[in-house]
């Protein structure tokens, strides 16, 4: 097998086949090539049985890419190999082993919306405000992902010390879990936790998987949580051929359970670990990497490594200081238009920010300049109401115990089933240990009107079962669309919106036919599992638009040109993170943002920014000051809007855009009164000395030496007063 195209250290990683191996793969260092070629090397050169290899990724997109690349290297049907995400792996294994822990094998997988429905009912039953549903779900997820690190009571005590209103958490947690169990359903966290239970509690299952998987590989190991760590540890316990790839410098998901200790302590957890560092970056040029290294080297806990690139050419990262966020957005829009008018396309650009709220002003400016853009992380296809409704019908058809699915569609289309009737149904079902569907069949015994109240829905489900009997997957989904009455309902609406919904459902049907074509033994439960496991990270589009996204969302992506906006203290790093002692994670986040850029990188910050509390002065981010001045190019031109130029004419703007101009800062002082050598005083920075002045009028900018550092200030806007020496 020819590995000559790989670097020496990459080949070393590929050929390290035995024992525990930790590959510290810096951003853009070619880790996917290492992973895929290692799998091929094991099969082609070492004669390893493909079925004995387990490769785990974090997104379906990454898993599919790995399969494609491995498929081009081996003479074997890779679709049959165990290459998947953690959740997909556990969902698949549990289809065989769920009965070992008290579930039926046809369990349903509930997504976030389904879980919200369940938790809201739990809270209502306990006379608790349902507006706290998402908070309780988050806490439940944290509890599950702890993998027994602490007991429910211990966790509840910790919560109550922080917030006394959370004293009901243990009972809410237990009732939520009980309801899922009664519905033969699992949430995403359950997939991992229950598979871990199977391995811990069932010797035969544990022995089977340990014997089967002789070689285990895990991508993005720095993003693993406690449950994922335990799963991998158990699976690798017998053969200890565990190969993990990750970068502690890109560990940015602690807020959703990722534990950086998993990668930092890998050598302690696995004796005789071989450590291999991939430090050559193939994405960015040297000047961008110099800035990234300068930021990350100040992290307190990290594995020592330094990214480098063979590309020495390229421009220095640029720093632009704007008077306010409107001018900042103006600058971004102008720069994009300028470069597009030369040789770039809109798809080359990404604007990255710390928080979603920063996108509003950027969107407004991009609209003014007619720049196409997309907000990454919007509503996905499978989150649309009509799709959720159809999936609920399919889920109930597959799993009659799925009460949450039934509750969603029992009155869609309308069948005259009110909330009072539903509540009586729920109470009877709970009292008699029945599913809602089973309780419907006995409705004569507990409510007036009896079974007739629910006859329409029962007939619908009966007709669905008859229509779908002995049908293939694609035909089944298509029949459900008709037999449920859903298509007729949309046709009756006779609107553009309804037509769009019909097209969306048709796309769902198409996806079922595609799934059936690509999977030899396609089943409805398999299709529903695959749909449930789709995430936003798997659906990044590469359309001809500028991408706006949070830095968290940008991980794993790359762009020709990146704007990192809002580089200010209390915004990035965020005040909340600094106060909570999480500066290192913010620093890693900055590192991730910088390393998304291939050729051009911009940092922007504002002198003042509008917050909910009003306008406040801003201080440049410490991450900017961490980068030596010689590694950056400061940009001095002001945005056109502040030079008095029209871009486009204000009279042509919508009223709400014109309103924005009222919030722009007005010149406060005569900039001409200042000169180099003067002593001045700033409201926030204190006393300082003007070192130099450049520009004219409102563009006049001074470099002022304050006690803490030199700062660049627009003299017309800065609150400066001249003082005597």
Question: Pick the catalytic residue: 168, 220, 584, 698?
Answer: 220
**3-state secondary structure (DSSP) of residue 8:** helix
Are 533 and 88 in contact by the 8 Å Cβ rule? The answer is yes
Lookup: tokens for 713: 């200030």
- Angle between helix axes 226-235 and 188-201 (nearest 10 degrees) is 40
Question: Pick the catalytic residue: 67, 453, 596, 598?
Answer: 596
Lookup: tokens for 487: 């298509």
Decide if 31 is catalytic.
yes
Q: Is 89 exposed, middle or buried (0-12, 13-18, 19+ CB in 10 A)?
A: buried
- Count CB-CB contacts under 10 A for residue 202: 14
How do beta strands 21-25 and 242-246 pair? parallel
Which ranges in 146-256 belong to alpha helices (H)? 152-162, 169-182, 188-201, 203-212, 226-235
Question: Pick the catalytic residue: 36, 250, 280, 608?
Answer: 250
Decide if 250 is catalytic.
yes
Lookup: tokens for 215: 């070689």
Give Cα 256 distance to the centre of its chain.
Answer: 10
Question: Pick the catalytic residue: 12, 15, 17, 32?
Answer: 32
Q: Which of 602, 605, 561, 565 is closest to 316 using CA atoms? A: 602
Q: Distance (Å, rounded) from C-alpha 394 to C-alpha 481?
A: 9
φ, ψ for residue 97 (rounded to 5)?
-120, 0
53 beta partners: 215
> How many residues belong to the chain?
725
Q: Distance (Å, rounded) from C-alpha 263 to C-alpha 194?
A: 24
φ, ψ for residue 157 (rounded to 5)?
-65, -40
How do beta strands 710-714 and 242-246 pair? unpaired
Lookup: tokens for 253: 């998901």
Are 308 and 314 in contact by the 8 Å Cβ rule? The answer is no
Decide if 220 is catalytic.
yes
Say which residues have a Cβ less than 8 Å from residue 344's Cβ, sequence separation at least 6.
560, 561
Question: Pick the catalytic residue: 114, 187, 219, 330?
Answer: 219
Question: Pick the catalytic residue: 31, 283, 598, 700?
Answer: 31
Decide if 219 is catalytic.
yes
Lookup: tokens for 10: 């990459």
Residues classed as catalytic: 31-32, 219-220, 250, 596
């Amino acid at each position: 097998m020819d590995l000559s195209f790989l670097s020496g250290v990459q080949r070393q990683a590929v050929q390290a086949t035995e024992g525990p191996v930790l590959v510290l793969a810096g951003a853009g260092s070619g880790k996917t090539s290492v992973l895929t070629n290692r799998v091929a090397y094991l099969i082609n050169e070492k004669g390893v049985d493909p079925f004995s290899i387990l490769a785990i990724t974090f997104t379906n997109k990454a898993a599919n890419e790995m399969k494609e690349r491995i498929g081009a290297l081996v003479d074997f049907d890779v679709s049959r190999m165990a290459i998947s995400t953690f959740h997909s792996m556990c969902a698949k294994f549990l289809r065989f082993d769920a009965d070992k822990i008290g579930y039926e094998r046809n369990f349903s997988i509930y997504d976030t919306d389904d879980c919200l429905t369940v938790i809201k009912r739990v809270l209502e039953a306990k006379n608790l405000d349902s507006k706290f549903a998402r908070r309780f779900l988050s806490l439940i997820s944290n509890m599950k992902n702890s993998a027994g690190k602490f007991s429910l009571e211990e966790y509840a005590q910790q919560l109550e010390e922080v917030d006394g209103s959370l004293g009901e958490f243990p009972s809410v947690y237990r009732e939520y879990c009980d309801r899922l169990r009664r519905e033969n359903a699992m949430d995403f966290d359950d997939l991992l936790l229950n598979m871990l239970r199977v391995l811990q509690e069932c010797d035969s299952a544990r022995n089977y998987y340990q014997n089967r998987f002789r070689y285990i590989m895990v991508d993005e190991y720095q993003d693993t949580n406690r449950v994922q760590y335990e799963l991998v540890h158990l699976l690798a316990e017998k053969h200890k051929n565990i190969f993990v790839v990750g970068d502690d410098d890109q560990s940015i998901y602690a807020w959703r359970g990722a534990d950086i200790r998993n990668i930092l302590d890998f050598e302690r957890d696995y004796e005789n670990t071989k450590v291999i560092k991939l430090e050559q970056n193939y994405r960015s040029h040297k000047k961008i990497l110099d800035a990234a290294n300068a930021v990350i080297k100040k992290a307190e806990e990290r594995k020592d490594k330094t990214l480098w690139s063979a590309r020495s050419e390229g421009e220095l990262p640029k720093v632009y200081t704007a008077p306010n966020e409107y001018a900042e957005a103006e600058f971004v829009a102008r720069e994009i238009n300028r470069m597009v008018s030369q040789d770039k396309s809109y798809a080359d650009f990404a604007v990255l920010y710390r928080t979603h709220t920063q996108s509003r002003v950027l969107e407004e400016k991009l609209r003014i300049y007619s720049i196409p853009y997309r907000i990454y992380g919007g509503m996905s296809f499978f989150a649309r109401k009509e799709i959720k409704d159809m999936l609920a019908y399919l889920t109930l058809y597959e799993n009659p115990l799925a009460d949450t699915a039934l509750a969603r569609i029992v009155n869609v289309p309308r069948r005259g089933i009110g909330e009072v009737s539903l509540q009586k149904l729920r109470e009877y079902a709970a009292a008699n240990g029945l599913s809602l569907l089973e309780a419907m069949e006995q409705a004569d015994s507990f409510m007036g009107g009896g079974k007739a109240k629910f006859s329409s829905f029962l007939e619908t489900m009966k007709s669905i079962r008859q229509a779908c009997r002995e049908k293939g997957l694609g035909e089944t989904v298509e029949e459900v669309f008709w037999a449920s009455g859903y298509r007729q309902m949309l046709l009756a609406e006779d609107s553009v919106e309804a037509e769009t919904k019909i097209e969306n459902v048709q796309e769902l049907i198409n996806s079922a036919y595609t799934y059936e074509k690509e999977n030899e033994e396609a089943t409805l439960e398999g299709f529903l599992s695959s749909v449930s496991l789709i995430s936003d990270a798997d659906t990044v589009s590469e359309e001809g638009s500028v991408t706006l996204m949070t830095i968290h969302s940008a991980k794993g992506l790359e762009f020709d040109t990146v704007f990192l906006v809002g580089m200010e203290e209390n915004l990035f790093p965020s005040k909340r993170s600094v106060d909570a002692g999480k500066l290192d994670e913010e620093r890693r986040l900055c590192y991730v943002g910088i390393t998304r850029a291939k050729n051009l990188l911009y940092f922007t910050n504002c002198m003042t920014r509008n917050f909910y509390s009003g306008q406040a002065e801003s201080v440049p981010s410490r991450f900017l000051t961490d980068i030596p001045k010689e590694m950056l190019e400061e940009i001095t031109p002001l945005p056109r809007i502040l030079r008095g130029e029209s871009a486009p004419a204000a009279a042509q703007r919508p009223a709400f855009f014109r309103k924005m101009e009222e919030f722009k800062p007005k010149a406060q002082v005569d900039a001409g009164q200042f000169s180099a050598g003067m002593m001045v005083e700033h409201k926030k920075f204190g006393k300082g000395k003007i070192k130099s002045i450049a520009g004219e009028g409102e563009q006049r900018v001074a470099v002022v030496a304050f006690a803490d550092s030199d700062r660049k200030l627009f003299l017309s806007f800065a609150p400066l007063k001249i003082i005597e020496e």
